[in-house]
Amino acid sequence: MKKYEEICVLKETKKNAEMAIKAIDTLMQKVYNQEFAYELTSQKKRFQEFERKAEAGLWEYGITAKKSPWEEAMLWGGIQMNTLWNISTPHVADMMIQGNTRGIADLMKVRHNNKNAGSFANEIAEELMDFEEENIERLKGFCR
């Protein structure tokens, strides 16, 4: 049971980071504020680190988590619709705040439902949630 719960937390952590990377990649084409672009680029690098850590943890269980083309398509479509009429820095920053908030909520839920997950999975999930909280605070500065 512990192994299953560890895998669940690691999969959600990987998915969370993966979706953030995809969102940043999609939004970068619409960002014209250099300071904001730098912030998103820095966040992307950190999300990539979390994705690699979660992949490494899954690899130890012999699992390679696959990307979900459906979820990626939904994310891409949602971003396109959300930025159709407004690509201002405050609007895009708000979108990223919402994404980070959703990511925290999803990780909290999977951790709550998998209380017996090992320390590695819990630590990386906790680090990612802390990082997303920090992102929210930094992104608020772009919402003016």
* Cα 127 from Cα 111, distance rounded (Å): 13
Range of the domain at 22: 2-140
* Cα 81 from Cα 133, distance rounded (Å): 26
What residues of the chain score a pLDDT lower than 70? 1
Instruction: Name which of 128, 127, 125, 130 is nearest 5 in CA terms.
Output: 125
What total of structural domains would you count in the chain? Answer: 1
Q: For residues 33-65, b (16+ Cβ closer than 10 Å) or e, as one string? A: eeebeebbeebbebbeebbebbbebbeeeeeeb
* Cα 124 from Cα 52, distance rounded (Å): 11
The enclosing domain of 77 has a CATH number of 1.20.1260.10
